[in-house]
Amino acid sequence: MPNTGKSTLFNRMTGSSARVGNWPGITVELLTGKILLGSDMVEIVDLPGIYDLHGFSEDEQVVRHFLHDNVPDLALIVLNATQIERQLSLLLQLKQLNLNMVVLLNMADEARKFGITIDTAKMTEALGIPIFLLSAKYGAGYNEALQSVTKALRYTTPGMAEHLRDQLEQDGHIEREMARVLQHSVQVPARLPDNLTDQLDRLMLHPWLGLPIFFGIMYLLFQAIFLFGQPLQTGVNDLFTWLRDAAITPLLSSLPAALQGLLLDGIYNGVATVAAFIPLIVLFFLFMAIVEDTGYLSRAAFLMDALMAKMGLDGRSFVMLLMGFGCNVPALMGSRVMRSRNLRLLTMLVIPFSLCSARLQVFVFITAALFSPKAAPLVLFSLYLYSFGAAILTALVFKRYLPNSEPFVLELPPYRFPTLRQMALRGWHEVYHFIHRASKFIVAGVVLVWLLTHLPPSAAPASADTLAGIIGAWLHPLFAPLGINEQLTIALIFGFVAKEIVIGSLAVIYGLGGEALGGALAHQLDWVQAYSFMLFTLIYTPCLSAIATLRSESKNTGFMLFSIGWSLALAWVLSLAFYQGARSLGY
């Protein structure tokens, strides 16, 4: 079942840091991990949660195909103990497959709070399957369950019935069976106690206050990121500058000048400028993790569904847009929970306009360099509004070509708070991911930028005679009306690969890192040019990974090309409108 804590359990078992959140359908990829159980090496696969075996959404198909193609030695069925009353139906469906199973009733801590008592011994007897209560989040009951899993692995799955599908249709049978099992082993209080979730929802989902509270929370969140992230970033920057002056420059002084330039002004400056964003990214994802884990995303879907329906989307599309603020790639993949292809395509068309954390780096850097500390957070917030605006405009333009009548039915989980362990795991995961990207894209990117700005060797670095200068001059007629100069044009070309490179490549182009680069930009650009550049960066294609994901998720190259073309055109038109508008107003 979705949102029962499978990934939390998977992380506990394998020590990995799969993404967890209080939102049904957060696992869309199959993650695997190997652990030693007893004396055997066991491979564990984290499957997406499903409502029933013959569901039609893409994540349900993934599970069905997986079970069809790979008969597991043992299936761990994770159910939510508080919802055992209805989740039992999936278990009974699975039981008919003759799988070797162990059932883990997760969230035992929540069930206890609800006053639900489950007699696992009686239930085991009634079902003929080992059943354990546990809390994957806090670890209670985990060891007992693991021992039984080890034991159950000795008996492998006997095989699977081929006529599975017809069997699954026998709902009447399942209903009787459910009643029989539940009658003796589960007690649920007739009326749930008025708990914290109900009290919070009365405020958060208030008919008039709900939406203002939502926007208030978002605003405070981004303010906080800016407020805490900025000093941390400056600190890391200072550290890198000190390291360069104190250790690296003397160390490299014996090398030829060109190589020194490449290593110091190319790789070191570029990577250091980008690496300074690590604290900001960790902070951003910690806040996002709290929002995701608390279950507020489903509330946002509830509040926004009526408005999203007018754009041909639904509440879930809105949640994907919010997830896109972290990174567009998982948000694009998260749209798999939708069954209607048109709704999915429309959602995938708007997600790339979400101002992701990589673009946030560019904006934080430039706003800090060109705007006063008072104005900078407002400028940043205005870019978030543009991000929403571009998404809304796109949906309104294309909704008639992608009509859908997808039903909107969604579970509303109770509020939960992430443990420190979960937050630490998430933070580490994002840093790892960032460093992984850095080693792949960013180093290659900054080296390429350095070469472009220093070749041919006869030209003065970063001058009009270098390769970069020639490309910049060639594209100049296209970008001059937007107020974007030749150096920034080069950075935009590299931003097509990944937005993390934009600031790094500017560092290489100007041959300056950190605050010195900010100073150079402030000297060369006025705020209208800088804002126009940021608008273009915001709206044109997010990065190569997002493009690849668009292609693989839509399985349609035409759609991918269309998305690229539309976002480039929209970026150009909006930047042009802004720049020429501001200039004609006398700014």
Partner 1 sequence: MPAVALSTLAAGETATIAAIHTEGPLHQRLLAMGFRTGKLIEVIRHARFSGPLQVRIGTTDILLRRNEAEKIMVKKS
DSSP 170-218: -HHHHHHHHHHHHHHHEE--SS----HHHHHHHHHT-TTTHHHHHHHHH
SS3 of 332-371: the string is HHHHHHCCCHHHHHHHHHHHHHCCCHHHHHHHHHHHHHHC
Contact 357, 416 (CB under 8 A): no
* Sole binder of partner 1 in the list 43, 175, 238, 245 (CB under 8 A): 175
* Sole binder of partner 1 in the list 64, 339, 421, 433 (CB under 8 A): 339
Contact between 210 and partner 1 per CB under 8 A: yes
**How many residues in total does the chain contain?**
587
Nearest approach, Cβ of residue 100 and partner 1 (Å): 23
Residue 551, exposed/middle/buried by CB under 10 A (0-12, 13-18, 19+)? middle
Nearest approach, Cβ of residue 89 and partner 1 (Å): 6
**Distance from CA of residue 528 to its chain's centroid?**
31
Residue 82 DSSP symbol: G
Nearest approach, Cβ of residue 49 and partner 1 (Å): 11
Name the residue nearer to partner 1 (CB basis): 60 or 486: 60
- Which of 217, 221, 380 shows the shortest CA–CA distance to 287? 221
Contact 524, 485 (CB under 8 A): yes
Spatial separation of the C-alpha atoms in residues 263 and 583, rounded to whole Å:
40
Per-residue binding string, partner 1, 298-317, x by CB under 8 A, is x--xxx-xxx-x----xx--
Binding range to partner 1, per CB under 8 A, among 199-207, 253-261, 266-274, 562-570: 199-207
- Which of 334, 330, 383, 382 shows the shortest CA–CA distance to 355? 383
Nearest approach, Cβ of residue 179 and partner 1 (Å): 11
Nearest approach, Cβ of residue 315 and partner 1 (Å): 7
| SS3 (DSSP) at 268 | helix
Q: Which of residues 106-135 bind partner 1 (CB under 8 A)?
A: 114, 116
Nearest approach, Cβ of residue 7 and partner 1 (Å): 20
- Kindly state the helix (H) or strand (E) to which residue 131 belongs, with its residue range: strand 131-133
Q: Which of residues 82-101 bind partner 1 (CB under 8 A)?
A: 82-83, 85-86, 89-90
Contact between 437 and partner 1 per CB under 8 A: no
Contact between 211 and partner 1 per CB under 8 A: yes
* Sole binder of partner 1 in the list 408, 496, 527, 566 (CB under 8 A): 408
Contact between 258 and partner 1 per CB under 8 A: no
Retrieve residue 132's tokens: 């354990």
Total binding residues toward partner 1, as defined by CB under 8 A:
43
Q: Which of residues 132-171 bind partner 1 (CB under 8 A)?
A: 171
Neighbours of 5 (CB within 10 A): 25
Which distant-in-sequence residues (6+ apart) come within 8 Å of 319 by Cβ? Answer: 23, 297, 298, 300, 301, 334
Nearest approach, Cβ of residue 140 and partner 1 (Å): 20
Which distant-in-sequence residues (6+ apart) come within 8 Å of 71 by Cβ? Answer: 99, 157, 159, 160
Name the residue nearer to partner 1 (CB basis): 25 or 445: 25
Which distant-in-sequence residues (6+ apart) come within 8 Å of 432 by Cβ? Answer: 17
Nearest approach, Cβ of residue 353 and partner 1 (Å): 23
* Sole binder of partner 1 in the list 412, 424, 435, 569 (CB under 8 A): 412
Contact 579, 480 (CB under 8 A): no
Name the residue nearer to partner 1 (CB basis): 55 or 389: 55
Q: Which of residues 30-89 bind partner 1 (CB under 8 A)?
A: 51-52, 54-57, 82-83, 85-86, 89
Position of tokens 């509004």? 385
* Sole binder of partner 1 in the list 410, 438, 501, 543 (CB under 8 A): 410
Retrieve residue 232's tokens: 């941390």
Binding range to partner 1, per CB under 8 A, among 264-272, 295-303, 455-463, 570-578: 295-303
Contact between 232 and partner 1 per CB under 8 A: no
Nearest approach, Cβ of residue 277 and partner 1 (Å): 36
- H helix intervals, 17-76: 58-69
Report the alpha-carbon angle 330-541-543, nearest 5: 55
Nearest approach, Cβ of residue 405 and partner 1 (Å): 8
Nearest approach, Cβ of residue 412 and partner 1 (Å): 4
Amino acid at 27: T
Name the residue nearer to partner 1 (CB basis): 329 or 338: 338
Residues that bind partner 1 (CB under 8 A): 51-52, 54-57, 82-83, 85-86, 89-90, 114, 116, 171, 175, 188, 192, 201, 205, 207-208, 210-211, 298, 301-303, 305-307, 309, 314-315, 339, 407-414
